[in-house]
A and B are shown apart, each in its own frame.
Chain A
Amino acid sequence: MTTETLSPRTPGKHRSTMPREVVRRRRYGGHAWHPTLGTGPLPRVLTLLALALMTVVWLVPFGWGVDTSFKTEVDASASGADWIPKAGFTLEAYRTIFGQGNLPVWAVNSVVIAVCVTAITVAVSAMAAYAFSRTLFRGRRVLFAVTVASIMVPPQILIVPLFRQMLAMNLVDTYAAVILPQVVAPAMVFILKKFFDGIPRELEEAARIDGAGSFRVFWSVVLPLSRPILAAVAIFVFINTWNNFLWPFISTSDPQLMTLPVGLSTVKDSTGLRNAQESAASILGSIPLLIVFMLFQRQIVRSVATTGLGGQ
C-alpha cells in the first residue's frame, strides 16, 4: 500500500532500469553526496565495516552448513569450530546421500507442487481481480469485501477442518491435497485488483471499439500491461509454496509425496552423528531457490517490495 514500486506500464512512459545510486551520483555531478551518508571517508569506512560485519554474521551459519557437508562424519561431529577438518575435505557425504534416500523424489515433488500452486493461483487470482476491477457483476462489492476481510484469516487455524475435509474427499496423501488449499490467496487478488484499477481505461475502450470482448481485452490488453505485477505475485507465491511446511507436513505421510522441507525434516536424527550427510542434504535442498535468487535478484527484490505489504 505504501510502496508503489510497480505501476502500470503505460505507453510512452519509460521506466529507468538504472540503479538508483548511479542515477543519483550522476545527478550530483559525480560527488559522493548521498541522502543518508556524510561526506568524507570516515562515514563510508564505518558503513562498510558495519556492512561487512553483519554480512559475516549472517553468512556464517549457512557457511558452517556448507563446510560441514564437505567433512567426514568423524570431523563433522567433532567438538569445536574448526573450519578446516583434520581429515581434509571430502565428497563422501554427497556420494552417500545420492546413493540412498528420497532427496530427488522430494525435489521433484517440491517443483511440481510449487509450479502447480503458482500457476493456478496467478491464473484464478488475476481473473477474479479483473472481474472485481472492471466488470459489473451482481454482488461484486460484497464478494470483494469478503475476499479482503478473509486476508485476516490465518490459514494455520484451518488445519484441523481442512484435514477432515481432505479425509472426506479421500484426498489425503495426494498431490491435490497439498496443492488445492494453497491456491486460495485473497491478498494476491487484492494486490492485482489495485494494479488493474490503475490501468488507463482508454486502452481497454480502444480495444472494445475494435470489437474485442471481455476475454480478449483481458488477455490482449490487461495481462500484457500487467506483466511486472504478475511476475511479482508469481515469485512471491512460488517462494512461499516452496518453503511452506505446516500444511504439506499434515497432508502427507507418504515419503514419496513429501516436499523438500517436510522430507528433510523427517530424516534428521538428533544424535548429530550424521551431521555431514544431513548438511549435504540440506545444502542440496536449498540450492534450487538460492540459484533462482542469484539469477533473478532484481525481480525477486521487487516482488517482495510490491507484494510484501500488500496484504495490508
Chain B
Amino acid sequence: MASVSTPARQAATGSRRAGFRRATATDRRRSPGGAGWLFATPFLVFFTLFLIVPIGIGLWMSFTDASLTGHGDNAFVGLDNYTEAFGDSQVWQTLGNTVWFTVLTTVPLVVIALVMALLVYTGMPGQWLWRLAFFASHLLPVAVVYQIWSMLFQPDRGMLNSLLGIFGIDGIAWLTDEKYAMWSIALVTLWWTVGFNFLLYLAALQAIPDHLYEAAALDGAGAWRRLWSVTLPQLRRTTALIAVLQLMASLKVFDQIYLLTKGGPNGATRPILEYIYDTGFTNYRLGYASAVSYVFFGLIIILSIAQLKIFSRRED
C-alpha cells in the first residue's frame, strides 16, 4: 500500500508546489499514472484472459477443423467453415427461429411491461404486492420455470388444457405441435422476464418531473390527456432503450427453449445458440461451432451499430 500511495502523494504535492498555473485543471484533479495502472490491472487481467483471449481463440478456431474428441487435428481449413455455415440449411433455420422468437417476444415484453408500470404507478395500495407479483418470476431459476410450465403445458393432464376444456375448447399440444411450440415458448418468456422491463419503466415514470403534470393540469388536461401528452412522450427514450435491450436479449435465447422443447418439435423452436451448442458439444465440431458463433456475432454487431446510429441521430 505504501508503494501505491507514496509516488502519488509526492506527485500530488509536487504539482501543488509547481503552482496552479502550470498544471491543467484535469491534471490536478486526477492522480498520476502509476496508481491508475495498479487500479486497472486486476480488471484488465480478467478482461484479457476471459474476454479478449476467447474472442481470439474462437476466431482462430473458426478457421480450423478443431474438434472436442481428438487432439492435434487443428488443421487450418481457411474459410471452409464459413462457406459451410452460409450453405447450411440448419444455420438459416435456427437463425430464422431466433428472429421469429424475437419478433414474438419483443413487442409484448415492452407493451405489457409498460401497462404494468402505468397501473402500479397510479399508487394503488399494495405496491409491495404488485411489484412482487410482476417481478418475482424474473428471480426464478430457469429450471423452475421449466418445471412449472411443463406441468401447465402437459397436453392430456395439464392445467391449461383443463381450463380450455371448461370453455369447451379442445386441448392444444402446446410444446409438441410445430404450429404452437414457439408461441408457447414466447408465452413462458413473457411470464418469466417481463418484470425486469416493468421495473425499468416504473423507474422512468418516477423520474418524470411533476411540474409537467402540473402545467398540463393547469391547462385543463384530464388524466387521459396527461397520459398521452405528457407521460408517453416522456417515456419515448426509455421505450427505445428497453426495446433495443429486449431485442438483444431475445436474440440470445437458449435456456428456456433448451429445457422445454430441446429445440423441437422437428427443430421448430431450435435457436441459433442451441445449434452452436449442439454442433460444439454434442457433435464435437468446435471449429465449425466457432464459425457459426461468429456468423451470429456478426449479426449482433450489425444490429448494435445500426442501433447506435439510430440513437445518436435521435439525440441530435
Q: A residues near B, CB below 8 A?
A: 1-5, 19-21, 24-25, 27, 33-39, 43-44, 47-48, 50-51, 54-55, 58-59, 61-62, 64-65, 68, 77-81, 120, 123-125, 127-128, 130-132, 134-138, 140, 143, 147, 150, 152-154, 156-165, 180-181, 183-184, 186, 189, 201, 204-205, 208-209, 211-218, 239, 242-243, 245-246, 250, 260-265, 268, 270, 272, 275, 278-279, 281-283, 285-286, 289-290, 293-294, 297, 301-302, 304-306, 308-309, 311-312
9-residue interface stretch from B34-42, B84-92, B102-110, B178-186: B34-42
Closest chain A residue to B119, Cβ basis = A51
Expressed in whole angstroms, the minimum distance between the Cβ of B201 and any Cβ of chain A is 10
Q: Is the interface of A mostly helix, strand, loop or mixed?
A: helix
Cross-interface CB contact of A35 among B16, B148, B208, B254, cutoff 8 Å: B208
A-B contacts, 30 of them at CB < 8 A, read A34-B123, A34-B223, A47-B122, A51-B120, A51-B130, A58-B191, A59-B133, A61-B152, A62-B137, A77-B157, A79-B157, A128-B40, A128-B44, A131-B35, A135-B36, A137-B33, A150-B47, A159-B280, A161-B55, A181-B50, A209-B16, A214-B5, A239-B139, A250-B281, A264-B143, A265-B143, A268-B143, A268-B147, A305-B203, A308-B245
Expressed in whole angstroms, the minimum distance between the Cβ of B170 and any Cβ of chain A is 15
Instruction: Please state if A3 and B203 are interface contacts (CB–CB under 8 Å).
Output: yes
Instruction: Kindly list chain A residues whose C-beta atoms are within 8 Å of the C-beta of B296.
Output: 157
Contacts A261-B143, A264-B144: A38 and B301 contacting too (C-beta < 8 A)? no
Closest chain B residue to A186, Cβ basis = B47
Instruction: Please state if A282 and B40 are interface contacts (CB–CB under 8 Å).
Output: no
Q: How far is the CA of A37 from the CA of B162 in the complex (A)?
A: 38
Instruction: Please state if A245 and B142 are interface contacts (CB–CB under 8 Å).
Output: yes
Contacts A135-B36, A297-B132: A164 and B57 contacting too (C-beta < 8 A)? yes
Instruction: Kindly list chain A residues whose C-beta atoms are within 8 Å of the C-beta of B9.
Output: 208, 211-213
| Extra pairs beyond A35-B226, A308-B200 (17, CB < 8 Å) | A36-B223, A47-B122, A65-B151, A128-B43, A157-B297, A160-B58, A161-B58, A164-B286, A201-B29, A204-B29, A213-B35, A214-B5, A214-B8, A214-B39, A246-B255, A302-B203, A304-B200
Instruction: Please state if B57 and A293 are interface contacts (CB–CB under 8 Å).
Output: no
Expressed in whole angstroms, the minimum distance between the Cβ of A243 and any Cβ of chain B is 5
Expressed in whole angstroms, the minimum distance between the Cβ of A83 and any Cβ of chain B is 10
Q: How far is the CA of A80 from the CA of B88 in the complex (A)?
A: 44
Q: How far is the CA of A73 from the CA of B242 in the complex (A)?
A: 42
Q: How far is the CA of A138 from the CA of B50 in the complex (A)?
A: 23
Cross-interface CB contact of B40 among A120, A131, A212, cutoff 8 Å: A131
Cross-interface CB contact of A242 among B30, B123, B141, B297, cutoff 8 Å: B141
Instruction: Kindly list chain A residues whose C-beta atoms are within 8 Å of the C-beta of B277.
Output: 159, 246, 250
Enumerate the 3 nearest inter-chain pairs by beta-carbon distance, A residue then B residue, closest first: A213-B5, A135-B36, A137-B36
Cross-interface CB contact of B147 among A34, A77, A163, A264, cutoff 8 Å: A264
Instruction: Kindly list chain B residues whose C-beta atoms are within 8 Å of the C-beta of A301.
Output: 131, 135, 199, 202-203
Instruction: Please state if A265 and B142 are interface contacts (CB–CB under 8 Å).
Output: yes
Q: How far is the CA of A133 from the CA of B30 in the complex (A)?
A: 8
Instruction: Please state if B40 and A137 are interface contacts (CB–CB under 8 Å).
Output: yes
Instruction: Please state if B146 and A3 are interface contacts (CB–CB under 8 Å).
Output: no
Q: How far is the CA of A152 from the CA of B252 in the complex (A)?
A: 12
Cross-interface CB contact of A309 among B6, B118, B242, B297, cutoff 8 Å: B242
Closest chain B residue to A293, Cβ basis = B139
Give B1-60 interface residues, CB cut-off 8 Å to A. 1, 4-6, 8-9, 12, 16, 26-40, 42-44, 46-47, 49-58
Instruction: Please state if A293 and B136 are interface contacts (CB–CB under 8 Å).
Output: yes
Instruction: Please state if B46 and A124 are interface contacts (CB–CB under 8 Å).
Output: yes
Instruction: Kindly list chain A residues whose C-beta atoms are within 8 Å of the C-beta of B206.
Output: 5, 20
Instruction: Kindly list chain A residues whose C-beta atoms are within 8 Å of the C-beta of B157.
Output: 77-80, 272
Closest chain A residue to B253, Cβ basis = A156
Instruction: Please state if B123 and A21 are interface contacts (CB–CB under 8 Å).
Output: yes
Closest chain B residue to A216, Cβ basis = B5
B219 within 8 Å of A (CB atoms): no
Instruction: Kindly list chain A residues whose C-beta atoms are within 8 Å of the C-beta of B151.
Output: 64-65, 68, 272, 275, 279
Q: How far is the CA of A35 from the CA of B208 in the complex (A)?
A: 10
Cross-interface CB contact of A3 among B61, B128, B200, cutoff 8 Å: B200
Expressed in whole angstroms, the minimum distance between the Cβ of B32 and any Cβ of chain A is 6
Q: How far is the CA of A282 from the CA of B50 in the complex (A)?
A: 32
Instruction: Please state if B5 and A285 are interface contacts (CB–CB under 8 Å).
Output: no
Cross-interface CB contact of A305 among B52, B200, B255, cutoff 8 Å: B200
Instruction: Please state if B231 and A218 are interface contacts (CB–CB under 8 Å).
Output: no
Instruction: Please state if B273 and A156 are interface contacts (CB–CB under 8 Å).
Output: yes
Instruction: Kindly list chain A residues whose C-beta atoms are within 8 Å of the C-beta of B202.
Output: 301, 305
Q: How far is the CA of A189 from the CA of B277 in the complex (A)?
A: 29
Instruction: Please state if B119 and A162 are interface contacts (CB–CB under 8 Å).
Output: no
Expressed in whole angstroms, the minimum distance between the Cβ of B132 and any Cβ of chain A is 7
Expressed in whole angstroms, the minimum distance between the Cβ of B248 and any Cβ of chain A is 8
B268 within 8 Å of A (CB atoms): no
Instruction: Kindly list chain B residues whose C-beta atoms are within 8 Å of the C-beta of A282.
Output: 143-144, 147-148
Give B244-281 interface residues, CB cut-off 8 Å to A. 244-245, 248, 252, 254-255, 259, 273, 276-277, 280-281
Instruction: Please state if B36 and A147 are interface contacts (CB–CB under 8 Å).
Output: no
Q: Which of B54, B118, B121, B241 has the most CB of A within 10 A?
A: B54
